[in-house]
Chain A
Amino acid sequence: MKTIYIDSDFKCHVTDDGTMKAVETEVFDGKCATFIEGYRFVPSGETWTRSDGVVFRGEMVAPWQDYGKLDAAQRQYEQEQLADMKNALAKLGVTLDE
């Protein structure tokens, strides 16, 4: 479970600038900040109206930035996490069979 923050347009943020609403959700567990901040989170019971007038009911979680870029950022984050773990294990003298 993670706390994220949504602005008035339901866009996600990892920090609160003092105007945002805190949301507890498991949806972004394991996701990097770039990925999270490319998404829109509409809570249950609320609605968001897209610029063309289409109304979406919550709970809805969907990217507002190009998903390809978000996915690439998340994959890079996961690679970095893996590299960090391997370095930490190496310092402990643990080697991995690959």
Chain B
Amino acid sequence: MAQCFLHGNGGANPLNFKVVGNPQPTNPKENTIWVNTDTPITGWHLGAEEPGIDYLTFPYSSGEHLFTNGITFTANADKSITVNGIAQGGRADYVCYIGTFKPGKYKLSGLTEINGADGISVWNNDDSTSLAYLTTYGTYEFEVTTEFYGNVTLLIQEGSSHSNTIVRPKLLYCSVGMAWITTGTLSTVAFNALKKNGIQVYPISAKQYINNAWVDKEAKIYQNGAWVNLYEWNGQLYELGEEFISKTGGWDIVNGRNSSYDAGQGTKEATEIHLACGTVGTAIAAVTVNKVDLSKYTTLKCNVTNYKRFGRIQVASSQATDGDGVAFADITGEGTYSLNIANLTGSYYILICTWYSNNSSPTSLHFDKVWLE
């Protein structure tokens, strides 16, 4: 199993810890981080830059030229672009990326010499709207809440003149639940995992980048002669898009209530789960994939951010179509709702549900947090 030595960023960051996979080391040194994974840990990056995945794919190989409307764009080996000429007969565009933009936080940068009206554009092709147009030095941050198809393009406006202007477009991506952080703090360290099977460790959980997706992993750090959890789990089951898969197995959207109801609508948004029943005789529920052990907890809570007509927080022995389940509490508005689970031992499914029955009206229920106390 590959091991990675992570060293601090110079004297300001004397971390010097080691990240290892399975098997769990029997004679670990202080600050060794063990991630419960059989997938080899083969890549990581801990540098002076803020961490994040560079989104731009640059369709042109180093040395290739694109000539359009009087402008020559030359792709360089370091992913910078050299711009020459005078834009005539229209605007000259150089596409740096075209594809899907996932929900998360983005940071656009890259203008070092360019000026005037020229800049780097981030464009939503789905609804023909602009998310960013950077025309100055520095960075521009924006957030995507709904996935869309779009592009990042360097725009040289008609009439603009350039002589060996260097542009270095960069679009850093930070997934939901993370924040831009600087390296050097053990509890918040995250590092660029561009390489296959790199490890990313941050306060909520440990994740490993496998097959272009982050997968939850258990992680412990060896301190003072014992393995302790690298992060503290405080009973969260869902929080702002984080599904706490290691505890819940994730959240499914299912037809809730019983077999006589048709399915309503439910979506997982960037930071919330949205449920709705617009037609009489429909029901929908967000439910944990796995049963959750409730033995150590006395209260199940849910924070509702949007509400119309009816909802319920419920504990059940089956994932759906269980009627009232083992215990439930009605949701009657926005805010935090609690269910007493003090006399439940063992494991149960957790459901947040809504339905539109006869003598009722259309329902809507959004929530951003579910947790145990």
Contacts and interface: CB of A to CB of B under 8 A. Distances in A.
Interface of A: 27, 40, 44, 48, 50, 52, 54-68
B298 to A, nearest CB: 7
A63 B327 contact: yes
Contacts of A59: 329-330
Nearest to B342: A50
B240 interface: no
Nearest to B327: A62
A64 to B, nearest CB: 6
Interface of B: 298-299, 324, 326-330, 332, 337-346
Given A50-B340, A54-B338, A56-B339, A66 B345 contact: yes
Which of A58, A59, A62 has its CB near the most chain B CB atoms (within 10 A)?
A62
Contacts of A57: 329-330, 332, 337-338
30 contacts: A27-B324, A48-B340, A50-B298, A50-B340, A52-B298, A54-B298, A54-B299, A54-B338, A56-B338, A56-B339, A57-B329, A57-B330, A57-B337, A57-B338, A58-B330, A59-B329, A60-B330, A60-B340, A61-B328, A62-B328, A62-B329, A62-B339, A62-B340, A62-B341, A63-B343, A63-B344, A66-B345, A67-B326, A67-B327, A68-B345
A67 B298 contact: no
Contacts of B340: 40, 48, 50, 54, 56, 60, 62
B298 A66 contact: no
A58 B341 CA distance: 14
A73 B6 CA distance: 58
A67 B347 CA distance: 12
Nearest to B328: A61
B99 to A, nearest CB: 46
A66 B298 CA distance: 12
B291 to A, nearest CB: 14
Nearest to B314: A61
Contacts of A64: 343
A12 to B, nearest CB: 13
B331 to A, nearest CB: 9
Contacts of B324: 27, 61
A23 to B, nearest CB: 14
Contacts of B329: 56-62
B280 to A, nearest CB: 18
Which of B337, B340, B341 has its CB near the most chain A CB atoms (within 10 A)?
B340
Which of B299, B339, B342, B343 has its CB near the most chain A CB atoms (within 10 A)?
B343
A26 B299 CA distance: 24
A62 B343 CA distance: 8
Nearest to A39: B327
B349 to A, nearest CB: 14
Contact of A67 (B337, B339, B345): B345
B327 A61 contact: yes
